[in-house]
């Protein structure tokens, strides 16, 4: 439907003054927040969206700093580098503001700010007493990601972690998984048991090698989840887990069935079972006939399963909905034999009375809203069997034996490539820590050094990460001075695809970690959203999320929030209904919402959040048509950008001159820009005479010869590049095309001649520049895309070539284009997952009616079920392990696999509700929800509204929004309803127009000329002094540290030193580290950390030291890294002056930065010696700057690590 009116879901009037905005003393959970920073106790805190969990972590950290001997005793763990940087920045900023007490900009305004200031003041007093110097050494604040923590543990124990030297960690290792999978399949060539296992797996999956390869690779990516399960598990134990699962499901069902209705149920089922037995009909209800005395209900033992099947058959349809009628097939015939002497209608009346009783019972169950009972009854039908078949066990055995071999192959691949994934690093860290009963020296050392642990986003913890935490706190007990604070929100657990297990949060809240009890705390205040949004979320998601907590299923009930922000006028939440997949109208509505938001408040921020990137296919083109610039965060694929497609075609063409498709794309690219007619002429495969007369004579009047016919025959089989070099073929094209091809030919001939003699990147980039590729670009973002592609090409080439072009393109497809560099961030587009932790004034969530795709099959399904109680036949401490092999190709569904798949789908459905909660709670002022559902003509001629598909986000909130859709459908015109899936109305053909305009360089384009040489002549003799004197005595690390410091001092000066502070420098710590590694530091992690700290210290000193602020501040004629060339007796030498400027008095300065350090006591003597060392170098710089006016120049040496300074003038 195209013109459905938006419907307000939570409308407010004039903003009342009921809730003061951010008044701390009225925060409902202020007491709980104060309790959470108590350093004597451990807590697990549930912090819903917008509740200020990061601020709570900051306050806890500050409080702990006042209680420890050394800052390193506190370790904070986050999941992303961005979160770690934010926490570090806020901590340093709090301390820096406390140090600047009295400045108007640092006066606290809210209760949170006042408490934070008090805690920071206490830390500074402690710092001054014990001499930590945290602001000068913020690296002492141990805030790191799980991955960096694991990497540091592995580097400390290279033998136990089985790593040896530290390999490179990579985010995407799927190519390595595939390589290991191929090696595993190759084991079939042997003669051992592994060959038989591979053969059995091939037979099971119909010899589909490609599928098996992919399945193995996917299993290797998740090996930390299943590897521990497949060792030492015998058949008896696994089948005990199956029986335990069945008993638990039956036990749950017994508890759900209303006691008041049990007697009636028994009578009805017995009645139906007897009738089915008499008639000889087959039904699950017939299994109830063996039941004992009247009033007895089935229990939760194995033998009761058949009875519950009968109850389910009586109550539910095959699809699992409450049964509306009962027929003879269910044991309820239309008439009964009433016996001799009875009236003729008596049998029908009795039968009808039984039917009415059955219908009344089901109606009562349905009216009570017993959806948990309905689902439990339906689940009984799908329960797995209590034992494996022989075929299942054989295949499962082969898989569980083969997978460890695949892991072994993967380790070999890791060793050969020198790369590992993060899972391998985590597993290495676990090995380095040992077991709780046999801790390693590292574990014992950490137990001594770490006294307080803070964990952010605890709801996203995986099982491996939980094991790491458990080993770190093994032996900790309440009251021993060591504490844990785990903060998270299980309602925002949406990372199952990254192995997050929300049940772990619930488990820790119920039982702690190891011997350590974590006291539960729940926050409720929402500081982010206006009251209208908070109330709508409370009302809606209480029905979206389950009522009861279930650790095994990962079911998290909703916890309501309390708004602290004022109510805003207007509509807080608006639902925009659309029908029959009219995504074009949905996209138009998105554009209109953005335009309205900007008209009301041009400075407001807006975000479009989608579940899948494909949901933006109609929206992004509409935004571009409307001229709305946006910042897309990992949305648009890099391979979809035109400049990258052209560069890829150029790469393929240069690598393979016979690649026809690549050459055709190259000829159409804007740097060549042939018309379709010219492309057809140069690349056609059939014989055509060159341009001339119709009768076949040539243009000069001659007649076609035998040689020309032979040429035609030869042309039909040659490659495009050969045709470009063939004068006969070139004669076919137009004059304009001929000129363009000649320019192309000249450039590519040289590139192909040098192929494999230089780096492939250099060849491709050189060809692109020479052909005029940059001249075809008018968008700055396209230059960034081109650079990203060339960097990717350089990283994947080998000896001037790419061994596997298909792999190159697959990897390219996984990369994302950079956001629009001209966009200001007021409009952002991202997935809901990426938006987690962010907030926007206006949030738009389109595509709610689109279903997610089905999950791929796994090689085997496994499920570790965390029990709600201690009952488990398997007897393994409250856990049941369920395993099932993938079903055989072409065979019936495997009931155990199907059951585990069902449990997995239920977990996913629960996460979908949490995902929608994350999207809704990003909004501060306005929330817009858009989605399509179906309408079809009903039997009565009216439109019938169909509920959304089960796997859509719209289905989660359908009870709340159904009325909105019904009203919109009632108002709509019939023609608006008749819209097909592609937005096309029946009886009306859509007109498609193809843009055939050709973007290309003008004919005869040439590279611009180089600028004229600078006319300069040396006027006096200058002593030749090389710049690298500073590092002639220093090591590699010192040189690289100096390079990075010089680059960033230049950037600080150019951006304005007034825009920099200690906190901003600290945020860039990871950037400095990456630059040092990229520049060539090859030492161990500790050395890299030390070098990074030197960079941070130098820069923090420079931006906080008055001398550094003066040097880097705004000056006249200031230049940084000024390159100059001097002639020394015919030999040219180049110099780079770090900083030169005129001060307010007009004095010219030349300054050189020195990253030298001095560990001794006589710092002044060291600085004097350094001055003498570099005097000649600075005098040389001064002589260069003195010309041609012979003005006086003062020299300066600045030592940022020491905050040291030396200066002198012409007099020396």
Contact 739, 1004 (CB under 8 A): yes
Q: Please classify residue 708 by burial: count the beta carbons closer than 10 Å to its beta carbon, then call 0-12 exposed, 13-18 middle and 19+ buried.
A: middle
* Rounded Cα gap, residues 767 and 760, in angstroms: 11
Fill in the DSSP letter of residue 850: P
Contact (Cβ atoms closer than 8 angstroms) between residue 660 and residue 711: no
User: Hey, is 657 helix, strand or coil?
Assistant: coil
Q: Are 378 and 902 in contact (CB under 8 A)?
A: no
**Tally of residues, the chain:** 1212
Quickly count: other Cβ atoms within 10 Å of residue 863's Cβ. Answer: 19
CA distances from residue 33 to 56, 84, 120, 513, 529 in whole angstroms, order as listed: 7, 21, 17, 22, 19
47 in a labelled binding site: yes
Contact 864, 229 (CB under 8 A): yes
DSSP three-state, residue 454: strand
The reply to whether 48 sits in an annotated binding site is yes
SS (H, E, C) 185-240: HHHHHCCCHHHHHHHHHHHHCCCCHHHHHHHHHHHHHCHHHHHHHCCCCCHHHHHH
Q: What is the DSSP letter of 827?
A: E
Q: Is 51 labeled as ligand-binding?
A: yes
Q: Is 53 annotated in some ligand binding site? A: yes
CA distance 536 to 919: 13
Q: Residue 387 belongs to what H/E stretch?
A: none
Residue 861 backbone class (left: φ over 0; alpha: ψ -120 to 50; beta: rest): beta
606 is in an annotated binding site: no
* 383: its two tokens: 């329960």
* Cα(601)–Cα(337) distance, integer angstroms: 79
Prior bond to 1188 cis, omega within 30?
yes
Q: Residues 795, 800, 805, CA angle at the centre, nearest 5°?
A: 65
Helix-strand-coil split of the chain, %, nearest 5: 50, 15, 35
Alpha-carbon distance of 547 to 553, in angstroms, equals: 13
Residue 1064 annotated as part of some ligand binding site: no
Please answer whether residues 658 and 717 qualify as being in contact, where contact means their C-beta atoms are separated by less than 8 angstroms.
no
Pairwise CA distance, residues 258 & 249, whole Å: 16
| 372 SS3 class | helix
- Residue 16: which residues within 8 A CB-CB, separation 6 or more? 566, 567
CB burial of residue 1119 (10 Å; 0-12, 13-18, 19+)? middle
Residue with token string 């094209």: 733
Q: How does DSSP assign 82-116, residue by residue?
A: HHHHHHHHHHHHHHHHHHTTT-GGG---SHHHHHH
CA distances to 549, 774, 1002 from 518, in Å: 18, 60, 72
* Residue 205 CB contacts under 8 Å (≥ 6 apart), including other chains: 211, 212, 886, 888, 889
Please give the Cα distance from 59 to 116 (Å, whole number): 6
As a whole number of angstroms, the distance between CA 167 and CA 131 comes to 37
Residue 781 counted as an annotated binding residue: no
Binding residues for ATP: 47-54
């Amino acid at each position: 439907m195209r013109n459905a009116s938006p419907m307000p879901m939570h409308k407010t009037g004039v903003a009342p003054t009921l809730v003061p905005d951010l008044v701390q003393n009225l925060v409902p959970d202020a007491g709980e927040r104060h309790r959470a920073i108590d350093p004597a106790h451990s807590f697990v805190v549930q912090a819903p969206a917008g509740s200020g969990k990061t601020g709570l972590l900051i306050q806890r950290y500050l409080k702990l700093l006042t209680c420890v001997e050394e800052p390193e005793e506190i370790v904070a763990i986050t999941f992303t580098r961005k979160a770690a940087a934010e926490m570090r920045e806020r901590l340093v900023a709090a301390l820096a503001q406390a140090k600047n007490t009295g400045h108007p900009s640092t006066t606290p305004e809210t209760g949170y700010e006042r408490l934070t200031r008090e805690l920071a003041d206490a830390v500074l007093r402690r710092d001054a007493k014990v001499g930590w110097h945290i602001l000068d050494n913020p690296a002492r604040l141990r805030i790191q990601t799980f991955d960096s923590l694991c990497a540091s543990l592995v580097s400390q124990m290279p033998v136990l972690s089985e790593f040896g030297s530290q390999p490179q960690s990579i985010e995407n290792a799927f190519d390595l998984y595939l390589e290991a999978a191929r090696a595993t399949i190759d084991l079939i060539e042997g003669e051992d048991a592994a060959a038989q296992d591979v053969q059995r797996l091939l037979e099971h999956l119909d010899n589909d090698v490609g599928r098996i390869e992919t399945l193995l690779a996917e299993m290797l990516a998740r090996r930390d989840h299943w590897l521990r399960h497949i060792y030492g598990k015998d058949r008896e134990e696994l089948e005990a887990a199956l029986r335990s699962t069945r008993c638990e499901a039956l036990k749950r069902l017994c508890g759900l069935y209303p006691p008041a209705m049990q007697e009636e149920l028994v009578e009805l089922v017995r009645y139906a079972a007897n009738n089915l037995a008499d008639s000889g009909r087959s039904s699950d209800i017939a299994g109830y006939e063996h039941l004992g005395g009247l009033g007895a209900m089935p229990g939760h033992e194995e033998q009761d399963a058949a009875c519950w099947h009968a109850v389910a058959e009586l109550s539910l349809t095959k699809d699992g909905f409450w049964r509306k009628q009962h027929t003879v097939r269910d044991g309820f015939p239309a008439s009964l034999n009433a016996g001799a002497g009875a009236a003729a209608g008596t049998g029908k009346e009795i039968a009808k009375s039984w039917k009415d009783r059955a219908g009344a019972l089901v109606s009562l169950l349905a009216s009570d809203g017993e959806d948990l009972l309905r689902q439990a009854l339906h689940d009984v039908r799908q329960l797995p069997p209590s034992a494996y078949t022989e075929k299942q066990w054989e295949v499962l055995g082969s898989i569980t034996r083969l997978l460890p071999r695949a892991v072994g192959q993967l380790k070999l691949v890791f060793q050969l490539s020198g790369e590992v994934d993060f899972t391998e690093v985590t597993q290495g860290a676990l090995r380095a820590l040992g077991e709780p009963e046999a801790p390693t020296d590292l574990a014992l050392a950490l137990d001594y050094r770490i006294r307080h642990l803070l964990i952010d986003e605890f709801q996203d913890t995986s099982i491996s990460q939980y094991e790491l935490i458990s080993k770190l706190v093994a032996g900790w007990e309440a009251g021993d001075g060591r504490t844990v604070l785990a903060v998270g929100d299980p309602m925002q657990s949406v990372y199952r695809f990254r192995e997050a297990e929300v049940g772990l949060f619930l488990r820790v809240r119920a039982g702690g970690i190891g011997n350590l009890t974590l006291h539960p705390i729940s926050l409720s205040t929402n500081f982010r959203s206006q009251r209208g949004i908070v109330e709508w979320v409370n009302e809606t998601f209480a029905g979206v999320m389950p009522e009861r907590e279930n650790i095994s299923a990962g079911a998290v009930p909703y916890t309501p929030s309390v708004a602290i922000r004022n109510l805003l006028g207007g509509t807080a939440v608006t639902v925009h209904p659309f029908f029959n997949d009219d995504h074009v109208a949905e996209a138009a509505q998105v554009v209109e919402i953005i335009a309205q938001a900007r008209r009301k408040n041009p400075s407001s921020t807006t975000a479009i959040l989608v579940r899948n990137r494909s949901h933006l296919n109609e929206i992004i083109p509409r935004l571009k048509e409307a001229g709305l610039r946006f910042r897309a965060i990992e949305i648009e694929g890099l391979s979809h950008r035109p400049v990258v497609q052209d560069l890829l075609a150029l790469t393929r063409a240069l690598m393979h001159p016979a690649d026809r498709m690549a050459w055709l794309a190259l000829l159409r690219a804007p740097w060549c820009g042939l018309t379709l007619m010219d492309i057809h002429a140069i690349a056609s495969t059939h014989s055509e005479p060159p341009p001339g007369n119709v009768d076949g004579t040539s243009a000069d009047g001659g007649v076609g010869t035998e040689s020309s016919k032979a040429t035609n025959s030869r042309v039909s089989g040659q490659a495009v590049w050969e045709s470009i070099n063939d004068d006969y073929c070139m004669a076919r094209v137009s004059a304009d095309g001929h000129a363009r091809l000649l320019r192309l030919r000249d450039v590519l001939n040289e590139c192909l001649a040098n192929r494999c003699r230089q780096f492939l990147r250099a060849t491709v980039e050189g060809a692109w520049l020479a052909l005029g590729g940059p001249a075809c670009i008018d968008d700055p973002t396209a230059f960034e895309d081109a650079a990203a592609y060339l960097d990717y090409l350089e990283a994947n080439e080998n000896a001037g070539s790419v061994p596997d072009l298909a792999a190159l393109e697959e990897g390219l497809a996984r990369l994302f284009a950079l956001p629009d560099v001209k966009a200001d961030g007021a409009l952002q587009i991202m997935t809901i997952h990426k938006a987690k932790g962010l907030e926007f004034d206006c949030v738009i969530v389109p595509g709610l009616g689109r279903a997610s795709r089905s999950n791929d099959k796994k090689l085997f399904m496994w499920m570790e079920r965390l029990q709600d109680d201690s009952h488990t036949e398997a007897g393994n401490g409250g856990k049941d392990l369920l395993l099932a092999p993938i079903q055989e190709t072409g065979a019936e569904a495997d009931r155990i696999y199907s059951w585990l798949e069902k449990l997995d789908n239920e977990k996913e459905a629960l996460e979908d509700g949490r995902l929608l909660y994350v999207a809704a709670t990003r909004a501060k002022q306005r929330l817009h929800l858009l989605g399509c559902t179906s309408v079809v003509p009903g039997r009565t001629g009216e439109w019938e509204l169909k509920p959304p598909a089960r796997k859509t986000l719209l289905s989660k909130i359908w009870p709340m929004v159904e009325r909105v859709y019904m009203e919109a459908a009632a108002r709509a015109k019939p023609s608006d309803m008749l819209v097909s899936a592609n937005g096309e109305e029946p009886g009306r053909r859509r007109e498609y127009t193809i843009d055939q305009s050709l973007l290309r360089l003008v004919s005869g384009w040439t590279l611009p000329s180089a600028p004229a040489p600078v006319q300069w002549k040396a006027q006096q003799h200058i002593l030749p002094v090389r710049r690298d004197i500073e590092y002639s005595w220093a090591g590699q690390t010192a040189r690289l540290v100096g390079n990075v410091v010089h680059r960033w001092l230049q950037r600080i000066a150019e951006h304005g030193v007034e825009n920099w502070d200690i906190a901003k420098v600290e945020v860039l710590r990871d950037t400095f580290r990456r630059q040092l590694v990229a520049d060539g530091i090859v030492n161990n992690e500790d050395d890299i950390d030390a070098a990074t700290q030197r960079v941070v210290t130098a820069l923090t000193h420079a931006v906080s030291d008055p001398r550094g602020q003066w040097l880097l501040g705004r000056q006249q004629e200031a230049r940084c890294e000024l390159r100059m060339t001097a002639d020394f007796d015919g030999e040219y030498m180049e110099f780079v002056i770090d900083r030169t400027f005129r001060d307010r008095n007009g004095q010219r300065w030349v300054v050189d930065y020195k990253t030298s350090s001095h560990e001794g006591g006589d710092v002044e003597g060291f600085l004097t010696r350094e001055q003498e060392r570099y005097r000649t170098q600075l005098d040389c710089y001064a002589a260069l700057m003195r010309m041609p006016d012979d003005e006086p120049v003062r020299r300066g040496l600045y030592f940022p690590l020491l905050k040291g300074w030396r200066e002198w003038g012409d007099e020396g």
